[in-house]
Amino acid sequence: MKMTSNHCRLPKAWPTGRVKGLKARGGFEVAIAWQDGKLVSAGIQSLLGNRCNVRYAKEVRALNVGKIKTFKW
């Protein structure tokens, strides 16, 4: 998985998979699952109660996920 400050990209060598426990800047924990190179689900948990902006494809969502709530895309 390639991650930069703006995005993450799944490698073609991993057409299907999942990861959990990824830490993101601002106190977030992320879990994602993909199949055939397409996102199936994404969970975002704010460990500090911060808001975040999530972009997938051309859609951007401003989320208030809370301290213990996990948001599913």
- Report whether CATH 1.10.3720.10 matches the domain 2-68: no
Q: Tokens 């426990």 sit at which residue? A: 21
Domain locations along the chain: 2-68
The per-residue pLDDT for 40 is: 83
Residue 3 pLDDT exceeds 50: no
Distances (CA, A) of 9 to 4, 32, 68: 9, 12, 26
The per-residue pLDDT for 44 is: 85
pLDDT band with cut points at 50, 70 and 90 for residue 72: low
- The model's pLDDT over 18-48, given as tens digits with 9 standing for 90+, comes to 999 999 888 889 888 889 988 888 888 888 8
The two beta strands, 38-46 and 70-72, are: antiparallel
On the 0-12 / 13-18 / 19+ scale of CB atoms within 10 A, 44 is: buried
The per-residue pLDDT for 18 is: 92
